[in-house]
Structure 1
Amino acid sequence: MTTDTTTQGNAPGATTPGRTVLDARGVTMRFGGLTAVRGVDLTVNSGEIVGLIGPNGAGKTTFFNCLTGLYTPTEGEVRYQGQLLPPKSFKVTAAGIARTFQNIRLFANMTVLENVLVGRHTRTKEGFWSAVLRGPGFHRAEKASRARAMELLDFVGLAAKADHLARNLPYGEQRKLEIARALASEPGLLLLDEPTAGMNPQETRATEELVFAIRDQGIAVLVIEHDMRFIFNLCDRVAVLVQGEKLVEGDSATVQGDDRVVAAYLGEPLDNDPGAAEAAEVEAAEAHAGTHAGTPADPGTPADPDPAAGQQNKETDR
C-alpha cells in the first residue's frame, strides 16, 4: 500500500515555522479522588512532530481529551497560538486543533466524501437561511467545500473511493479517512491517537509517510502511539507519561536511553506506584466520564456513530 504525498504548498491552517502552537501548563485531571493526569507541561511548535508515549493506563488519552475540550482540566491551562482554549470541543476545533481517536469514529452509512465534508462545517460561512434558500452563495460554498474535500481525499489516497460507504473501506483506509476529515477543518495542530493501531507493517509505513507529508504542509502534529519503532522514526521530540505524570522528554536517543522509561515499560515499580488496583479505578473513572460527557458533535466526535461500524463510543486510555 502506498500513499501519495506529492501535494504542493502549505495547508490553509498552517502556522509560521518555529512558532509555539500548543502550550499546556500544569494540566491535571481528577475523577473524584482519582488523579489520571497530574501537572503535565507540554509544548508543540509549528513544523514539529511530537510523540506522547507511556504504558497502558498512563493517562495519554485523558491528556488528549483535556487538550481538545472533551474534558475540562481540574487544574492548569491549555493555550493555542497564545490564546486560552475554551473547554468546548467544537470551539477547540474552530480555533485550529483537530484530532483522531483510538477507536475509529466515522459516519459509517455516509460516503467517504460526505465524511470529509462533515469536517468542513467549522470553515463554512453559510448560515441557516442560506442553506434553506439555497441561493448562489450557498452553491458557491458547497462547490468550494467539495473541491477541498476531494483534494484531501487525493492527498490521503482515497479519491477513487469518494462515493464508497465509509463502512466498506478496509481498516487502514478508514484510518486515512479519519485523518482526511480532521484535516478538512484546516487545523494548525493535528492530534493523532494511536493512528497505526491494528495496522500491518506496510500500512504503518504508509501512515508514517502521510504524517511527514502533513508536517511538510506546515501543520504541527502530536501523536500517541504504542509502536516504538514508528514513534522514534517519526518524532522530533518524545514525552513519556507514567502514572499520569511526565517522566521525561527529549529526542529519541535521550528517551530510549533513560533507565526510568525502560523500568516503566518492563513493569518495575516506581516511587509512589499506586498499584494495579488504583490504575484500574482510574481507567474505570475515565470510561464513566467519557460515557456521560455529553459534548456537542464536531468533525471528530459524531454524536451518534453508526453501530454497524462496530466502534465503541467511549475513549479509554489503552
Structure 2
Amino acid sequence: MTTDTTTKDTAPGPHAPGETVLDARGVTMRFGGLTAVRNVDLTVNSGEIVGLIGPNGAGKTTFFNCLTGLYTPTEGEVRYKGKILPSQSFKVTAAGVARTFQNIRLFANMTVLENVLVGRHTRTKEGLWSALLRGPGFKKAEKASEERAMELLEFIGLAAKRDHLARNLPYGEQRKLEIARALASEPGLLLLDEPTAGMNPQETRATEELVFAIRDMGIAVLVIEHDMRFIFNLCDRVAVLVQGEKLVEGDSATVQGDERVVAAYLGEPYEDAPGQAEVAEVEAAEAQADAAPRKETDR
C-alpha cells in the first residue's frame, strides 16, 4: 500500500454534497498464508451512512483496521477525500478519520470530560514548552478544547456526568462516551465497530438516533453491526463481507433479497462460494487484529 505521511493540524473542512469521502480499492490483508480480506472495494460519500455486515470471521474488523491505519493492507489503497491515507493510526485520525472499537477502550480511571479531551489532541497546536510554561496561548487552547468537549457531552447527553469516572458509567453511556471522544477529533468520517453490541432495544434505538444526528452534522458514517434491524433501518447502503470477500452491496431491499446473503448467514454453500476451511483461521486473525492495538493503547 502506498502511504503519505503528511498530516494537518487543522480539522477537515465540510464535504461537498455527494463527495467521495472514503475510497478503498482492492484492499487485501494477508496474515502469512491466510488471506483475511480479499480485494475489497468500498466507497462512502458525504451525507451517507454505510453498513458493513457479514457472519463471524468474515473479515469486517480486519478491514476496519486496514482503513484506520492499525494495519497496512498487503495490497490495495485507502483514500480519504482523494488522498492516500498514511499507515499509522494517529495520522489517519489527524487526516479526518475517527473510529470506535468493538470492545470499549475508554480510559477507565479518567473522568468523562478528560476522555473527550484526549480526543482533542490531534486538533491542538500547543507543543511541549507551551504546556510546561502554561502561557496565554496554552490557556486559550485549553479553554477552547474544554468548551468543545462540553458541547459534545451535551450532544450525547452526558454533560451532567462530566466529572464521573468513565469506569462508573453504565455500559450504554460508555458506548456514547467513546463516540464523543471520536467526535472530538473533528472527523469527516466516523467508523463505528458494533456500536449496539450488548445494548437493550431502548439503548439501540437511542444509538440509531445518535448516528442520524452525527450524519446531520455533516459527518459520513461507516458501521459494522450484527443487529440486522438496526443496520437496515439506519443505512443508505449495505455491503456484505463473506470470508473476506465482498459478496454484494446495495440498498437494504437489495441486500435482504439476495439469496447468497441468506445462505451465508445460514451457513449454507452457494455458487462460487469461497471454501470453508479457513473460517476458523479468519476468526483467529480478526481476534488478533482487534487485540494488537489494545496492547499499544495500554502502554
| 1:146-225 equivalences in 2 (<5 Å) | 146-225=146-225
Amino acid across the alignment from 1:250? G
Q: How far, CA to CA, are the matches of 2:291 and 2:227 in structure 1?
A: 27
Equivalent in the alignment of 1:314? none
- Shift of residue 303, structure 1, vs aligned partner: 3.3
1:189-212 deviations in Å (ceiling 9; x for gaps): 000000000000000000000000
Alignment of 1:284-299 (within 5 A): 284-292=284-292
Task: Report the counterpart of residue 86 of structure 1 in structure 2.
Answer: 86
Tell me which amino acid in the other structure corresponds to 2:72: T
Given residue 83 of structure 2, which amino acid in structure 1 is its aligned partner? Q
SS in 2 for 1:41: strand
Partner of 1:252: 252
Q: Aligned to 2:229, what secondary structure does the other structure show?
A: helix
Q: For the residues of structure 1 that align with 2:28 and 2:21, how far apart are their CA atoms?
A: 20
In the TM superposition, what whole-angstrom CA distance separates every residue of 1:68-104 from its partner, at most 9, and x where no partner exists?
0000000000000000001100000000000000000
Is the contact made by 2:194 and 2:224 (CA closer than 8 Å) also made in structure 1?
yes
User: 1:234 aligns to what?
Assistant: 234
Aligned residues: 288
Equivalent residue for 1:131? 131
Shift of 1:274: 2.7
1:244-293 CA distances to partner (integer Å, 9 max, x unpaired)? 00000000010011100110011102335432x52111222343455556
**Cα pair 1:195 1:225 within 8 Å, conserved:** yes
Whether contact under 8 Å (2:58, 2:282) holds in the other structure is no
Give CA deviations for 1:104-126 in whole Å, capped at 9, x if unaligned.
00000000000000000000010
Query: Aligned pair 1:303/2:298, yes or no?
Result: yes
Q: Structure 2, unaligned stretches of length 5 or more? A: 1-10
Instruction: Give CA-to-partner distance per residue, 1:24-43, whole Å, 9 cap, x none.
Output: 00000000000000000000
- Retained in 2: the 8 A contact 1:14–1:217? no
Partner in structure 1 of residue 5 of structure 2: none
CA distances 1:287-310 after superposition (whole Å, capped 9, x unpaired): 3455556986xxxxx334xxxxxx
Distance 1:164 1:293 in 2: 26
- Report the equivalent of 1:274: 275
Please list every run of 5 or more consecutive structure 1 residues that lacks an aligned counterpart in the other structure. Answer: 1-10, 297-301, 305-318
Q: Is the 8 A contact 1:240 1:246 kept in 2?
A: yes
Partner in structure 1 of residue 4 of structure 2: none
- Identity between Structure 1 and Structure 2 (%): 86
The 2-side partners of 1:65 and 1:19 are apart by: 23
TM-score by length of 2: 0.93
Distance 1:174 1:13, change over 3 A: farther
Which residue identity does 2:208 align to in structure 1?
E
Q: Give RMSD over aligned pairs.
A: 1.6
Specify whether residues 212 and 272 from structure 1 end up closer, same or farther in structure 2 by C-alpha distance, changes over 3 A only. closer
- The CA distance in 1 between the partners of 2:34 and 2:158, in whole Å, is 43
